[in-house]
Amino acid sequence: IETIVQADAEQASRTVAQLIADQIGRKGDSVLGLATGGTPVQAYRQLIEMNRRGEVDFSAVTSFNLDEYIGLDGAHPQSFRAFMNEHLFDHVNIDRARTFVPDGCADDVAAHCAKYESMIDAAGGIDLQLLGLGHNGHIAFNEPGSPRDSRTRQVDLTPQTIQQNARFFDSIDEVPCHAITMGIATILAARRIVMLATGKGKAEAVARMLQGPIGEDHPASLLRRHDHVTVVLDNAAAGALH
């Protein structure tokens, strides 16, 4: 694992935006795996500015998001589809028909998950997967205990994750308890993985990911089994490393 530590979240986000832009520069029709949450917002803002300046061209890019809440359709303001439209897709020259987010309202969730996997395959696999890090070590919505051979599927969110995500909703009762998520094996199949983690609150999870035992009880630690992972941190998130 390559680790890059920047002074603050702004610098770390710039680094991540540049890694994504470089990927698209090398291969215009790259397949990106994208994340939601608070962490990537600044990196997406950087990419929007780079796109405006003509420094990155999304016109041939395909994207697959990591996850979506069960029960929220794409029009729901707290859905991850709406998040992606608001924070990236509405502001860059990406072809909306080539942006994929799991459908939280699919009638047959298992069939939808299998189809999502086959669509990733049909697109040629993910070239660069962007990840955030959960306080409990989750990646996407693969909570502790998720099998390393897991694929896209329906999962239950832990009470801790529901509480963390309540900040995006009017009340905690509105946070869905279930989600569709790419699995650990889906994520590890990406050719390159870039993780962004910022802030003191992530320091313990970062230290366990990079220096603790490798195992399913800390899903992010399984990234150490992949040979092309770049972890981009700010000083605060790197604070518990020894």
Give residues in contact with ligand F6R (CB under 6 A).
35-39, 66-67, 132-134, 138-141
Active site residue 143: yes
Nearest approach in angstroms of CB 122 to ligand F6R is: 22
From 138, 142, 165, 234, active-site residue: 138
d(CA 210, CA 221): 6
Active site residue 93: no
**Closer residue to ligand F6R, CB minimum distance, 67 or 117:** 67
From 136, 142, 165, 234, active-site residue: 136
From 65, 67, 112, 218, active-site residue: 67
Residue among 2, 74, 82 at smallest CA distance from 36: 82
Relative to beta strand 192-197, strand 178-181 is unpaired
Active site residue 57: no
| Phi (first) and psi of residue 184, to 5 degrees | -60, -45
- Residue of this chain nearest to ligand F6R (CB atom): 132
Active site residue 67: yes
Query: Count of H helices and E strands in the chain?
Result: 7, 10
**Closer residue to ligand F6R, CB minimum distance, 25 or 205:** 205
Residue among 149, 168, 166, 169 at smallest CA distance from 158: 166
**Closer residue to ligand F6R, CB minimum distance, 37 or 183:** 37
Nearest approach in angstroms of CB 61 to ligand F6R is: 18
Place of tokens 């993780």: 195
Nearest approach in angstroms of CB 66 to ligand F6R is: 4
134 Cβ neighbours under 8 A, 6+ residues apart = 143, 161, 164, 205, 220
Nearest approach in angstroms of CB 202 to ligand F6R is: 7
Q: Is 124 helix (H, G, I), strand (E, B) or coil?
A: coil
Sign of CA dihedral 68, 71, 74, 80: negative
**Closer residue to ligand F6R, CB minimum distance, 67 or 234:** 67
From 127, 143, 165, 234, active-site residue: 143
Nearest approach in angstroms of CB 38 to ligand F6R is: 4
d(CA 45, CA 38): 12
CA 58 distance to own-chain centroid: 18
Tell me which residues are annotated as active site: 67, 136, 138, 143
